[in-house]
């Protein structure tokens, strides 16, 4: 079973074969490498306008994907781990 789809076994059909129901499952963890500025603001408890300012000043690493500017959580985590060492 993968992270995107979960299979749950329901009652057997009239033919005796089990009916399977596919249910999408989305897991967002700290290993998610990129998040929107709005989501990052929620995670750190700040206003989105502050995060936008930090991103424009280069205080936090971002990646542009089309028209969207995403915060690079993977790079932030790596930088934090390097500072601890």
The residue among 52 and 14 whose pLDDT is bigger is 52
Q: What pLDDT does residue 42 have?
A: 93
Residue 1 falls inside a structural domain: no
The per-residue pLDDT for range 20-45, each reduced to its tens digit, is 565 655 555 556 799 999 999 999 99
Residue 77 falls inside a structural domain: yes
The dihedral formed by the CA atoms of 30, 82, 64 and 70, expressed in degrees to the nearest 10: 30
Residue keyed to tokens 């005796």: 16
Q: What pLDDT does residue 30 have?
A: 54
Residue 19 falls inside a structural domain: no
Q: Could you tell me the pTM of the whole model? A: 0.61
Domain count, the chain: 1
Domain that holds residue 72: 34-84
Residue 39 falls inside a structural domain: yes
Residue 76 falls inside a structural domain: yes
Alpha carbon distances (Å) from 25 to 10, 11, 56 = 17, 21, 34
Please report the DSSP string for 36-56 in residue order: EHHHHHHHHT--HHHHHHHHH
Please tell me what DSSP assigns to residue 26. Answer: -
How does residue 7 score in pLDDT terms, banded at 50, 70 and 90? Answer: very low
């Amino acid at each position: 079973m993968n992270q995107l789809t979960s299979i749950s076994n329901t009652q057997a059909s009239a033919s005796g074969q089990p009916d399977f129901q596919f249910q999408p499952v989305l897991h967002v963890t700290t290993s998610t490498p990129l998040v929107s500025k709005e989501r990052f603001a929620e995670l750190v408890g700040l206003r989105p306008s502050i995060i936008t300012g930090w991103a424009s000043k280069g205080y936090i690493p971002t990646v542009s994907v089309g028209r969207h500017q995403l915060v690079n959580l993977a790079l932030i985590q790596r930088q934090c781990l390097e500072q601890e060492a």
